[in-house]
């Protein structure tokens, strides 16, 4: 169904591919430079709605599409090399190689590298806010959403996804929201039964959904094409 949609501001980067709201502020990651910005959006400047930049950090990620926060760290979805955007770096992932990076939120230092379960890329990740030590990862190769236990990096639960090109993920108490960018829909799935509970359709007149984050009782999404940060009122 259609919900009220409001364009808030343009991201500080050209290609914002995911975002994550935290107590400290809103994190936004750039697919082009693989930098991550922490912004303050509780008080936007009314005339132009410019968020205050708290800090901006480099990372060793590449072709980043996926961002979450948990266990005192940022987690980034890596989707192969970034040669489309910039010269290759020694830390870039290989062609068609998906990884999850655990990153220090102050320095950008890589704290850990993990393979995407089953191989291939990922476009969305979420640290489970209700069960510490678990990540939800979109596994594009299998068109599934996987729950991974971080300690031993084992796949604990799998939810088949209704469409291709799964993107941003948000875990809520009664389910899990998943963006399907090409279809311009955000579906809410029951974690246990795997059935669809709800869906939000994004009109073509609004920015295209990519990354997704909870925002109080509402949702935020970013559009990697136009750079808009958008609020959906639930």
Q: What is the pLDDT of residues 123-143, one digit of tens each?
A: 999 999 999 999 999 999 999
Q: What are 230's two structure tokens?
A: 């958008």
pLDDT score of 2 more than 80: no
Res 43 pLDDT > 70:
no
Q: Among 56, 67, 14, 45, which residue's Cα sits nearest to residue 220? A: 67
The pLDDT tens digits for 80-115 are: 888 777 888 888 888 878 899 999 999 999 999 999
**For residues 136 and 155, what is the distance between their CA atoms, to the nearest angstrom?**
10
Strand partners for 103: 74, 110
pLDDT of residue 51: 83
Which burial class, exposed, middle or buried, applies to 87 when counting CB atoms under 10 A from its CB (0-12, 13-18, 19+)? exposed
For residue range 148-176, list pLDDT tens digits in order: 999 999 999 999 999 999 999 999 999 99
d(CA 213, CA 27): 10
pLDDT at 48 over 70: no
Residue ranges and CATH numbers for the domains of the chain are 5-232 (2.130.10.10)
pLDDT band of residue 234 (cuts 50, 70, 90) is: very high
221 in Cβ contact with 208 (< 8 Å):
no
In the predicted structure, residue 10 carries a pLDDT above the cut 80: yes
**Residue bearing tokens 């760290």:** 73
């Amino acid at each position: 169904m259609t919900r009220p949609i409001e364009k808030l501001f343009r991201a500080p980067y050209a290609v914002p591919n995911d975002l994550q709201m935290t107590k400290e502020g809103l994190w936004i990651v750039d697919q082009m430079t693989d930098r991550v910005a922490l912004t303050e959006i509780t008080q936007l400047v009314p005339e132009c709605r410019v968020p205050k930049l708290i800090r901006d950090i480099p990372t060793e990620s590449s072709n980043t599409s996926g961002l979450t926060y948990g266990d005192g760290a940022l987690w980034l979805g890596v989707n192969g090399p970034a040669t489309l955007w910039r010269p290759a770096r020694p830390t870039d992932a290989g062609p068609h190689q998906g990884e999850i990076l655990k990153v220090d939120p102050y320095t950008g230092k890589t704290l850990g590298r993990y393979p995407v379960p089953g191989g291939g890329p990922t476009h969305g990740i979420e640290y489970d806010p209700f069960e510490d030590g678990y990540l939800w990862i979109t596994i594009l190769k299998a068109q599934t959403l996987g729950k991974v236990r971080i300690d031993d990096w084992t796949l604990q639960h799998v939810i088949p996804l209704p469409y291709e090109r799964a993107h941003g993920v948000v875990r809520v108490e009664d389910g899990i929201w998943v963006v399907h960018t090409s279809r311009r829909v955000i579906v809410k799935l029951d974690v246990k039964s795997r059935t669809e509970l709800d869906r939000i359709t994004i009109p073509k007149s609004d920015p295209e959904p990519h990354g997704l984050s909870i925002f109080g009782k509402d949702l935020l999404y970013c559009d990697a094409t136009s750079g808009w940060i958008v609020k959906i009122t639930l």
